């Protein structure tokens, strides 16, 4: 795939949370049930191939962490591979590898999730290993003391030595003054330096319980077989109270903030972010759908406004993108970034002005019906394409459930998007793209530090 295809894929990613649509095709049968210990299970049947994906999602991530204890969720994710009652450190991964399975795990602000993709006859192995570490993680001190060094190294390599990651980390810390979303998922280095295995044990005991988890299974399975396997392996794990989890609420209009960062990069860039609600916190849900469509109008493909006007038309930027994640537990950001076209000697200030021209245009003039239709067509198609991957389907279900929304939203999503009018878009642009909600970062090469 080249840039064009990848850009289109970007739109699909941004719609990752809404697989099904009335227009698209008959939805695959999807079932949900809850075990007595509170473990919620969602099963989607997809019988195209004899494979299955199993995912366990815990409602805990870096936005749950407190100052001084940042990075706990991510560190715990690492330690989940270091042995539980039935397996030693690293052993589960080798067992799965030998069975031809793919496995992975990921931590974010709102969740920590673990998954396996494997031939359908091996689902029980995935469940047994996953249930074992839900119930009886070992957390050996010697493994932790080695692993925390690996995590620090990961931080150095992926954040401290990676100019754009570092810029985003600092940007988020500034853009979320009130909520836990200012915490970087990997944790601040000072907190990693003083992290103790006892803190991880406490974090594990607090949040890793069946009643704080969702098991998602998509593939060539029946709900009955999943239910009996889930009951067998997860059923015996006792329920336990979890601490109260507060939704991350932000100041609506914190005031304009500016960050200038000099990093080791060849390419300067600018980041804009507006404090806006997400689907879980918005009073006016249509404004959320309007923001999603705005993101697509600006950056939803090679024919979108950024591409057409800024990249090709003015040749002002060599790359630019927008991001609006509506599917968060709390208030979120609408972000734009751009890298000025250096071959054409464009500056960060010019690129920033270019982004603002696009935003002002949205405020001044509603988009044409034709342009909106083009965006919706991509969204609708994306809903179908997403169903080609069992992992995407499971991820959509799991993330919706874990941020406090229902997977059933997937079914109404398209209708919600279609109810948005050009005027809704103009209104959302006027409401949210204001200086009071704005954070700006100028990310510049180190050479210019003293200019």
CB-count exposure of residue 389 (10 Å: 0-12, 13-18, 19+): middle
Nearest in space to 44 (alpha carbons), one of 68, 20, 16, 78: 20
Which residue lies nearer to another protein by CB, 158 or 196?
Answer: 158
* 72 and 141 Cβ atoms separated by less than 8 Å: no
Bridging pattern class, strands 317-324 and 438-445: unpaired
**Contact (CB, 8 A) for 355 and 272:** yes
Residues 6+ apart with CB under 8 A from 9: 1
When the beta carbons of 149 and 253 are compared against another protein, the nearer one is 149
Distance in angstroms (rounded) separating the CA atoms of residues 299 and 320: 8
Nearer to another protein, 391 or 434 (CB): 391
Nearer Cβ to another protein (62/287): 62
Report, in Å, the least distance between residue 75 CB and another protein.
10
In eight-state DSSP terms, residue 385 is H
Neighbours of 363 (CB within 10 A): 17
Instruction: Name the minimum Å distance from CB 62 to another protein.
Output: 8
Identity of the residue, 178 or 267, whose beta carbon is nearer to another protein in the bound complex: 267
Residue 423 CB, shortest distance to another protein, in Å, is: 22
**Minimum separation from the CB atom of position 86 to another protein (A):** 4
Contact 166, 263 (CB under 8 A): yes
Beta carbon of residue 331, minimum distance to another protein (angstroms, whole number) = 13
CB of 241 to another protein, least distance (A): 27
DSSP 16: T
Nearer residue to another protein within complex by CB, 33 or 385: 385
By the 8 A CB rule, do 419 and 376 touch? Answer: no
Closest CA relative to residue 272, chosen from 78, 47, 438? 438
Q: How far is the CB of 279 from another protein (least distance, A)?
A: 14
Give the residue with the Cβ less far from another protein, 239 or 374. Answer: 374
Residues 6+ apart with CB under 8 A from 181: 63, 109, 172, 248, 250, 328, 330, 331, 332
DSSP 245: -
Q: Is 122 left (phi over 0), alpha (psi -120 to 50) or beta?
A: alpha
Q: What is the DSSP string of 48-113?
A: SSSEEEEEEEES--GGG--TT-TTHHHHHHHHTTS-BTTB-TTHHHHHHHHTT-EEEEEE-SS-EE
Q: Which is nearer to another protein, 38 or 89 (CB)?
A: 89
Nearer Cβ to another protein (261/427): 261
As measured in angstroms, the least distance from the Cβ of 48 to another protein is: 5
Nearest distance, CB of residue 142 and another protein, angstroms: 8
Residue number with CB closer to another protein (186 or 200): 186
CB of 127 to another protein, least distance (A): 7
Residue (240 or 319) nearer to another protein, CB: 319
Distances (CA, A) of 75 to 134, 191, 196, 211, 245: 15, 11, 11, 22, 20
From the CB of 169, what's the least distance to another protein, in Å?
Answer: 8
């Amino acid at each position: 795939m080249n840039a064009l295809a990848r850009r289109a894929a970007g739109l699909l990613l941004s719609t990752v949370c809404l697989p099904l649509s009335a227009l698209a095709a008959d939805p695959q049968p999807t079932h949900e049930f809850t075990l007595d210990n509170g473990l919620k299970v969602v099963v989607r049947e997809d019988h195209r191939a004899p494979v299955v994906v199993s995912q366990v999602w815990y409602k805990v991530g870096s936005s749950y962490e407190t100052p001084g204890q940042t990075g706990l969720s991510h560190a715990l994710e690492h330690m989940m591979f270091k042995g539980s009652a039935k397996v030693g450190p690293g052993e589960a991964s080798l067992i799965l590898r030998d069975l031809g399975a793919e496995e992975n795990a990921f931590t974010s602000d709102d969740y920590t999730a673990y998954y396996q993709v494997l031939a359908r006859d091996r689902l029980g192995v995935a469940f047994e290993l996953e249930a074992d570490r839900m119930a009886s993680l070992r957390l050996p001190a010697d493994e932790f003391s080695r692993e925390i060094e690996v995590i620090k190294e990961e931080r150095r390599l992926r954040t401290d030595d990676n100019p754009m990651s570092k810029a985003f980390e600092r940007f988020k810390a500034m853009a979320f003054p009130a909520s836990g979303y200012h915490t970087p998922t990997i944790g601040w280095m000072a907190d990693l330096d003083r992290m103790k295995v006892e803190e991880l044990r406490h974090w594990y005991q607090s949040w890793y319980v069946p009643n704080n988890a969702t098991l998602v299974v998509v593939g060539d399975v029946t709900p009955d077989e999943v239910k009996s396997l889930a009951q067998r392996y997860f059923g015996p794990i006792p329920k336990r109270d979890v601490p109260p989890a507060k939704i991350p609420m932000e100041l609506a209009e914190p005031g304009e903030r500016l960050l200038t960062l000099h990093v080791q990069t060849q390419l300067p860039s600018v980041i804009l972010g507006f404090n806006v609600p997400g689907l879980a916190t918005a009073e006016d849900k249509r404004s959320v759908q309007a923001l999603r469509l705005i993101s697509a109008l600006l950056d939803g493909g090679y024919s979108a406004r950024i591409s057409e006007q800024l990249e090709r038309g003015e040749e002002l930027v060599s790359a630019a993108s927008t991001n609006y994640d509506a599917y968060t537990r709390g208030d979120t950001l609408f972000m734009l970034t751009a890298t000025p076209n250096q071959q054409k000697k464009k500056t960060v200030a010019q690129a920033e002005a270019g982004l603002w021209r696009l935003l002002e245009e949205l405020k001044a003039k509603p988009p044409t019906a034709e342009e909106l239709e083009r965006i919706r067509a991509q969204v609708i198609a994306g809903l179908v394409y997403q169903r080609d991957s069992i992992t995407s389907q499971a991820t959509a279900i799991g993330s919706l459930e874990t941020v406090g929304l229902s997977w059933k939203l997937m079914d109404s999503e398209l209708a919600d998007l279609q109810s948005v009018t050009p005027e809704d878009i103009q209104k959302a642009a006027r409401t949210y793209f204001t200086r009071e909600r704005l954070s700006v970062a100028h990310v510049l090469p180190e050479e210019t530090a003293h200019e």
